Structure 1
């Protein structure tokens, strides 16, 4: 019976973590380029019970018992969000059209914009809501430099520029640069850092560029923004289910506690 406490508590903890994940997804439903976290519940390995001693037989199998569930680590869903036309020159949507799967994991790779932090570290994003700073450098909404195909900040002379479908930037009909598009072969290696940024691996490795790679195809849409791929209605439904499941585990915990109280104070009462 004591094991039941742990099983119910494990279910409550898993649902609390799931509620936090779903709440964060819903809070970012209007964040451009946001990638929803996906996860699933898994059961702990079952424990096989065996008889110790007795007359039935030495070591006879009684059966298996579960130790509850846990929430698998959440991974971002890099499926394309809907595109919204803004008409702003500095808004650019990245649309992957052919990205090969990772040979090792089998997961389909993903593409992202490469940006540089103030300390020079490289990060990645799908949020194409860019701006021009006073020096004409193309930056994210948080001021991080957008990098070109050579890993250098993009500097423009005016905000009257054009970006073609391949990410090439033109001013007065002359090509002046190309937006750097990073390729992550295994999206599971990308770690969310907040502010719509991803880090490649634990140490922030530098991803290869997809520019010029014949095996990868994509397009860039100037004047458009990729919206969050959170499905709000489904997320709200999942959040309600998580809350109800938490309540069910809570009732189980109370029932076991009441049964234990009866066993100690009434069934086991002397005299």
Structure 2
């Protein structure tokens, strides 16, 4: 009976975390390049109950009992979002055309832009809503420097520039740089940091360039933004199911509490 408290509470905590994940997805449904988090519930190992009495371990088995569930770590879904035309020359959308699967995990890799934060560390993003700062450098909305395929900041010398589908930047008809596209073979190693940024593992790191990899194909569109890949209808449905499941666990918890109250105050009552 006491174990039932922990099982129901584990279910409630799992649904609370799932609700936080879903509400964050919904809140970022209009964020360019946002990748929806996804996760699943897993059960803790079951416990085998045996009849009391006799030599320990020789009692007759009663059956298995669940010890509750937990929510696995959320992993972003790196599927392409839809394109939205903005006609702004600094808006750039990166669309994966062909990216190989990781042979160890079976999960398809992903492509990202690289940016340099103010402290000099490298971060990665799919949000191509860029702008040009006072020094002519291509930056994100938060001021992070967009890096070229060689890992250097991209500096523009004119407002009249073009970006082709491979990411080459042309000024006055001459290619001056190339927007860096980098390849994460194992997306499970990417950690969300906020503001549409990712790091490689908890200690940071760098990704290899996608250039020169014959197994990778991508397309860059100037004047477009990749939209969030959040499915609003599915997210709202999942959120409602999460709320109902939380209520069900709450009802179980109340029922067990009522039973324990009867056992303590009625069954054992004298007279």
Shared fold, TM over 0.5: yes
- For 2:160 and 2:226, locate their aligned partners in 1 and report how far apart those are by CA, in whole Å: 22
Which runs of 5 or more residues in structure 2 are unaligned?
none
Length, aligned pairs only: 270
Alignment correspondent of 2:191 = 191
Q: Which moved more, 1:206-215 or 1:71-80?
A: 206-215
Q: Secondary structure at the match of 2:22?
A: helix
Alignment correspondent of 2:90 = 90
2:254 is the alignment partner of 1:254: yes
Q: Secondary structure at the match of 1:188?
A: helix
Alignment correspondent of 2:68 = 68
Shift of 1:54: 5.2
Alignment correspondent of 1:99 = 99
Query: Under a length normalisation based on structure 2, what TM-score does the superposition of the two structures give?
Result: 0.97
Query: Under a length normalisation based on structure 1, what TM-score does the superposition of the two structures give?
Result: 0.97
Alignment correspondent of 2:182 = 182
RMSD of aligned residue pairs (Cα, Å)? 1.2
Q: Which moved more, 1:7-16 or 1:43-52?
A: 43-52
Shift of 1:52: 3.0
Shift of 1:245: 0.8
- For 2:226 and 2:58, locate their aligned partners in 1 and report how far apart those are by CA, in whole Å: 65
Q: Summarize the alignment of residues 1-271 of structure 1 with structure 2, pairs less than 5 Å apart.
A: 1-53=1-53, 58-271=58-271
Q: Tell me if the contact between 1:82 and 1:226 (Cα under 8 Å) persists in the aligned partners.
A: yes
Q: Secondary structure at the match of 1:5?
A: helix
- For 1:183 and 1:263, locate their aligned partners in 2 and report how far apart those are by CA, in whole Å: 61
Which runs of 5 or more residues in structure 1 are unaligned?
none
Q: Secondary structure at the match of 1:176?
A: strand
